[in-house]
């Protein structure tokens, strides 16, 4: 089974897009390492799988280099290899004018969204280079905010723009080692984080408006499609979003 089974690691797997993606991968037969800070939430994801035995619950803080190193060493020992990393863990700051944000609020978003993605990608890269057969795939969760900001979202928007640079660098540097890297930009998938969209959120012109949302399973299906490609093919960037959300055009 180890010769045919695929092995994945999903960060932020305890809720939202991470949980949906992890469950889709488990349903497709992957063994999946479920990573996040809250072990109870990760256990809930595992228990929701059709075959919970395929899930490996690994609580970890992706902002801490030592914890990330231990995490990937555990994956190497348990799985023997890693075929897919879905770099999904993320957070936002309060929607405040930039001059009212504290440094700690800025730093927390940078630590999770950017540094955490870097540390996990670095560890995955090292493992994928050395394993046999060599190679693997990294999918970064970029967000619509990798393209266009919402009002008062400097920390989140800055880190998501940075994820695009990280994706391009990994994609280039991975070529020599059969490591493919792509980015999935998701818009208004209906998770707990997106619930405010259904009640009304600030728009660029200053008004409050309800925004269209989509089922989070569409985002999970996109992850599954990207993951299923042979390493000779790569989705460099994909956007999956609610059709009527205010992104394309002028709102």
Planar angle of CA 62, 145, 43, nearest 5 degrees: 35
List, in sequence order, every residue forming a beta bridge with 187; answer none if it has no partner: 241
Catalytic residue among 7, 30, 79, 156: 156
Q: Which is nearest to 149 in space by CA: 111, 191, 93, 195? A: 93
Contact between residue 58 and residue 121 where contact means Cβ atoms under 8 Å apart: no
- 225 is annotated as an active-site residue: no
Alpha-carbon span 246 to 251, nearest angstrom: 4
Planar angle of CA 235, 138, 237, nearest 5 degrees: 30
Burial 139-176 (b: 16+ CB within 10 A, else e): bbbbbbbbbebbebbebbbbbbbbbbebbeebbeebee
DSSP state of 149: P
Alpha-carbon span 119 to 98, nearest angstrom: 27
Contact between residue 2 and residue 29 where contact means Cβ atoms under 8 Å apart: no
Q: Which is nearest to 36 in space by CA: 56, 54, 62? A: 62
Catalytic residues: 156
């Amino acid at each position: 089974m180890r010769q045919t089974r695929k092995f994945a690691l999903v960060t932020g797997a305890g809720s939202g897009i991470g949980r949906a993606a992890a469950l889709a991968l488990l349903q497709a037969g992957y063994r999946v390492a479920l990573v996040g800070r809250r072990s109870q939430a990760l256990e809930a994801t595992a228990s929701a799988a059709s075959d919970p035995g395929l899930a490996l619950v690994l609580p970890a803080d992706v902002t801490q280099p030592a914890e990330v190193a231990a995490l990937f060493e555990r994956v190497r020992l348990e799985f023997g290899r890693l075929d897919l990393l879905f770099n999904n863990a993320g957070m936002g700051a309060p929607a405040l004018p930039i001059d009212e944000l504290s440094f700690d609020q800025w730093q927390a978003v940078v630590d999770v969204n950017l540094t955490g993605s870097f540390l996990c990608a670095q560890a995955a890269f090292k493992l994928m280079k050395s394993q046999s057969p060599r190679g693997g795939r990294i999918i970064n969760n970029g967000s619509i905010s990798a393209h266009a900001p919402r009002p008062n979202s400097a920390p989140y928007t800055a880190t998501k723009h940075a994820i695009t640079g990280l994706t391009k660098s990994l994609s280039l540097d991975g070529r020599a080692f059969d490591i493919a890297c792509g980015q999935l930009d998701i818009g208004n998938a209906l998770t707990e984080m997106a619930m405010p969209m259904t009640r009304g959120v600030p728009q660029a012109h200053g008004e409050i408006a309800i925004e269209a949302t989509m089922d989070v399973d569409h985002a999970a299906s996109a992850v599954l499609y990207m993951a299923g490609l042979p390493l000779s093919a790569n989705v460099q960037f994909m956007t999956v979003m609610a059709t009527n959300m205010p992104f394309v055009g002028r709102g």
